[in-house]
Structure 1
Amino acid sequence: MELYYVKIIETLVVITLYILLRRVVFNIVSKTLLRKLIHKSRGIVIRKVLNLLLATICGIFILVIWGVKQSDLLVFLGSILAVVGVAFFAQWSLLSNITSSIIIFFNHPVKLNDSIIILEGKDYVLEGVVVNIGLFFVTLRTTDLSEITLPNNIFIQKSIKNITQNFNEN
């Protein structure tokens, strides 16, 4: 009977750590939203992805605490990852765009309403204002009021000149 008490206490500790870590991560996301002036709906998507990741890790720890054999757990996770891997390989650009989206959210200096120039080559540039940074695409509004949509994985690879940032520094 004492064995179950220890497992219950360990489970409660893992759940408490999950809740605390989730709160810390959500606060970081909220601060990033405010600092980069990103649309709130974007934060919802990032929170869902990070919450799923944290919940999965928490679930694995709880399964280990309650005696699921690590070899059985690894076989199950390996099977799941194989199926997901095949699905993502078929949709490689989907995974690439989601990963790029998270990188843009946390580390990219461009934010909403910034005027930018994307240097495509010597003779071709894209110029516009960032009107949306989504999970898969970044949307620019050009000077002639048309919209250009760039996949996040392409956007993150391009050389970008931020006109707004240069203007505000002067």
Structure 2
Amino acid sequence: MEPNNHKIIESVIVVVAYILLRIISSKLIDRTMTKKIVQKQRGKIIKKALNLIYFSIFSIFILLIWGVDQKELALFISTVLTVIGIALFAQWSILSNITSSIIIFFNHSVKLEDTITIIDKDYEVEGRVSDIGLFFVILKTKKNRRKYPSQTMYLFKK
């Protein structure tokens, strides 16, 4: 067999393993949600995070299969992480939003579908939490508008 045929077969195996791992982990999370071990809203967030982690890992495997040098890949990843780190430290609000989203997720202070009031210096926003991302808590107001307030504001549950 030609070397490229081996790479294609290995790539197909990695893609199949990626798909199987996503399906298995999704079913496992769904099962824990039905047993009420994990709340439905938290399960969605856990699925998003796991999918991002799986995609990153399997992308690295594909790059290694197709001949990207490990030293070059490590250099590229460290360079990207350094640039992201510098960008985040240059933008303290983004870094604080990521940190506060992690705290909100693990502290269980706010869940999806909770109604909250956000009190800021200039204005007050009230709405239902429709999504918790890395950068924002997305609210739906009473007028069914989407709001993207910063997570660094004070959150008060109704």
TM-score bracket for the superposition, by shorter chain length? 0.5 to 0.7
In the superposition, the TM-score normalised over structure 2's length comes to: 0.58
Alignment-derived partner of residue 88 in structure 1: 88
Percent identity of equivalent pairs: 35
Alignment-derived partner of residue 100 in structure 1: 103
CA contact (8 A) 1:64 1:70 kept: yes
Alignment-derived partner of residue 71 in structure 1: 71
Q: Which deviates more, 10-19 or 60-69? A: 10-19
Aligned mates of 1:47, 1:80 — CA distance in 2: 24
Displacement, 1:37?
3.8
List per-residue Cα deviations over 1:76-119 (Å, max 9, x = no partner): 11121112222333322222233335535xxx6x9789xxxxxx
Aligned mates of 1:52, 1:98 — CA distance in 2: 16
List per-residue Cα deviations over 1:95-148 (Å, max 9, x = no partner): 2233335535xxx6x9789xxxxxxxxxxxxxxxxx8595266xxxxxxxxxxx
Q: How many residues align?
A: 124
- 1:58 pairs with 2:85: no
Distance 1:16 1:102, change over 3 A: farther
Greater relative contact order (CA < 8 Å, ≥ 6 in sequence): 1
Task: Indicate which of 38, 41, 55 corresponds to 2:40.
Answer: 38
Aligned mates of 2:103, 2:46 — CA distance in 1: 12
Q: CA RMSD in A?
A: 3.8
Distance 1:30 1:102, change over 3 A: farther
1:82 partner SS: helix
Distance 1:60 1:102, change over 3 A: farther
Aligned mates of 1:112, 1:51 — CA distance in 2: 19
CA contact (8 A) 1:112 1:133 kept: yes
Q: Which deviates more, 63-72 or 85-94? A: 85-94
1:52 partner SS: helix
Distance 1:37 1:132, change over 3 A: farther
In the superposition, the TM-score normalised over structure 1's length comes to: 0.54
Distance 1:134 1:101, change over 3 A: farther
Q: Which runs of 5+ in 2 are unaligned?
A: 114-127, 138-150
CA contact (8 A) 1:33 1:39 kept: no
1:59 partner SS: helix
